[in-house]
Amino acid sequence: METAVIIVAAGRGSRMGGAVPKQWQMLLGKPVLAHTLAAFRGMRVVLVIHPDDRARAEGLGVDLVEGGATRDASVLAGLRALEGSGIEAVLIHDGARPLVSRALIDRLVAALESHAGAAPALPVADALWRGENGFVAAAVDRTGLWRAQTPQAFRFAPILAAHRQHPGGAADDVEVARAAGLDVAIVEGEETNLKLTWPADFARAEAILKGRAMDVRMGNGYDVHAFCEGDHVWLCGVKVPHGRGLLGHSDADVGMHALTDAIYGALTEGDIGRHFPPSDPQWKGAASHIFLSHAIGLARSRGYELGNCDVTLVCERPKIGPHALAMQAELARIMGVDAGRVSVKATTSERLGFTGREEGIAALATAVLVQA
């Protein structure tokens, strides 16, 4: 199901105070919205902003839409921006909730397979009172009461129609959906998915972010290609002149193949053959950067960035040293990372084995992925 995200960030946040709206205030060195957007990395995002915030938002790399005077007007503007784009489902999220987890997002998307709408919530555990003039006026039965959160998830066409016919003034999108007769399933929310409303909430959010265990994953890759007739070899994205070529279904870039498999391994996603089967003729002669770009893109879609990687080429010839820096730079360019995170080096097998007999080239790679 093709899913997009609308992040509502057009409010002024008067209860929070400060020189700028809360979604643009700094949280552990980054604007609140930067943390919010990171949770949805890999998904199409429409960010609904106040016209005064356009200059702040231009560099965030997402679609920008100017919002309305109310929250529901802003959501409708975001929905209209997605109309006709083939989107089948949409998550609607408050920009001031920067701690939403990928697990919660996945639960909501899964719920849309069998429901028109789904929203996260937590059951009310505390006693509830109704107050008057600073005194307790009555106890309130908490049975069946829930604390609503976002993102709230819907099939796209029904929620667009619901917003179009709603008179306005809704507290959230569930209210709009219910007014249109849509059933909304409750999905288990998260205590840490707090909305920044008061100044003290920033301290809570910082503590949560600092306390989250970092998810680090490591994968290894190994590949071999035999020599064949030719006048060059492709190694780590660089065309290296040589008296022979390398035999393979694609361009036989043994170094890039090993690195790609290392990233897939860190994600428990098998190897290149799973994603680009050699039985499929469309990949014959394909440039290996296609595979590496797919692997790093898959990592980012799951919230990971490359910590570092190390590629070792094993061969007697060609000599790798003169080309190692160019290989390092090319791998970094393909993956969109700083070259300081990429290592390329070479060794020989002291004339032993198939590499020592110059029958082919082997490559080993290790990749470390860090949760962003």
Same domain, 220 and 190: no
Amino acid at site 266: A
Same domain, 315 and 204: no
How high is the pLDDT of residue 115? 96
Give the domain extent around 223.
216-371
pTM strictly above 0.75: no
Same domain, 181 and 277: no
| CATH code, domain carrying 313 | 3.30.1330.50
Among candidate residues 188, 211, 234, the one where a domain is terminated:
211
Number of compact structural domains in the chain: 2
Check whether 291 has a pLDDT greater than 90.
yes
Same domain, 149 and 277: no
Give me the residues paired with residue 118 across strands. Answer: 153, 185
188 exposure class (CB count in 10 Å sphere: 0-12, 13-18, 19+) = exposed
Same domain, 315 and 278: yes
Same domain, 155 and 228: no
Among candidate residues 160, 184, 211, the one where a domain is terminated:
211
- How far apart are the C-alpha atoms of 366 and 368, rounded to whole Å? 7
DSSP string, 8-59: EE----TTT-SSS-GGGSEETTEEHHHHHHHTTTTSEEEEEE-GGGHHHHGG
How high is the pLDDT of residue 61? 84
How high is the pLDDT of residue 209? 86
Phi, psi of 354 (to 5 degrees): -65, -30
Same domain, 205 and 221: no
Among candidate residues 163, 184, 211, the one where a domain is terminated:
211
Per-residue pLDDT band at 213 (split at 50, 70, 90): low
Same domain, 175 and 266: no
Same domain, 339 and 207: no
Check whether 16 has a pLDDT greater than 70.
no
Kindly state the average pLDDT of the residues 203-215. Answer: 84
Same domain, 101 and 179: yes
Same domain, 162 and 144: yes
Same domain, 203 and 220: no
Per-residue pLDDT band at 145 (split at 50, 70, 90): very high
- How far apart are the C-alpha atoms of 213 and 152, rounded to whole Å? 26
| CATH code, domain carrying 98 | 3.90.550.10
Encode pLDDT of 313-342 as tens digits. Answer: 999 999 999 999 999 999 999 999 999 999
Check whether 372 has a pLDDT greater than 90.
no
